[in-house]
Amino acid sequence: MGLRESKKLETRQLISDCATRLFIEQGFEQTTIAEIAASARVAKKTVTNYFPRKEDLALDHHEVFTQGLARTVAERGPDEQPLTALGRTFRTALLEHSPVVGFTGPAFARMVADSPTLTARLRELHDQREDALAAALTTAADAAPSPSPSIAPRAAAALIAAADRLLFRRIQELTLTGHTDDQIEATLIPEADHLRTLLAAALNNHPTTAAW
């Protein structure tokens, strides 16, 4: 990475950090772009050039989030089935306390929960995550040498995404009620395993050999 690109990334991160701090302190709706620009010591136009939508200043890793499930399916091993890969990836993220699955800390979780705008944006991102997964599952189904699966990729994506949303919301709820990340991890491991078993049954396959 060149100096110019590195500087751009630093500026983007600075703006995002300043915005998040102000959102937590003042509330998302109450904070202006001008205040964020002043805090980061940049022009208002610089803020909007990096973040065209105000919501993206708070949810700045939205592309990683929306593409996460699809990327797991696309990048899985040649002999690994999609549902198995998705379960493995979620377990890893859970053990790492990754913000992608909902570990955002109590202050950030409260900021999002208190903002109708961010709550709505998060629903949009979950929808985009599901759409990307459906596309990846369609590609996987088209490439499979076996006969057509018993359930359409769009329906499979809807079921998987519903479980994904449930676990994300569960982590956020536990965070807001004062549970530590370690406590949340311990609670979510059996719940996630149970959901994965239900998914495998719904998709008419065994958890370790799921055609999806």
186 touches 109 (CB < 8 A): no
Residues 6+ apart with CB under 8 A from 186: none
The answer to whether residues 103 and 110 touch, using CB atoms and an 8 Å cutoff, is no
Report which of 205, 201, 199, 173 is spatially closest to residue 188, judged by C-alpha positions.
173
Q: Which residues of the chain have pLDDT under 50?
A: 206-212
Tell me the HSE value of 26 on the side-chain side, using a 13 A CA sphere: 14
Backbone angles phi, psi at 207, to 5 degrees: -55, -35
- Quote the CA–CA distance of 134 and 65 in Å, as a whole number: 15
Instruction: Look at residue 203 in the predicted model and tell me its pLDDT.
Output: 85
CA 180 from chain centre, in angstroms, equals 20
- Of the candidates 133, 204, 209, the one whose C-alpha atom is nearest the C-alpha of residue 165 is 133
DSSP state of 115: -
Pick from 74, 62, 138, 129: nearest CA to 99: 62
Report whether 138 contacts 71 (CB < 8 A). no
Task: Locate all alpha helices (DSSP H) within the chain, ordered by sequence.
Answer: 3-26, 33-40, 44-50, 55-58, 62-74, 82-95, 106-113, 116-143, 153-176, 181-202
The reported pLDDT for the residue numbered 46 is: 96
pLDDT in the model for residue 2: 78
Q: What is the pLDDT of residues 8-56, one digit of tens each?
A: 899 999 999 999 999 999 999 999 999 999 999 999 999 999 999 999 9
Question: Cβ distance 149 to 141 under 8 Å?
Answer: yes
Burial of 52 (0-12, 13-18, 19+ CB in 10 A): exposed
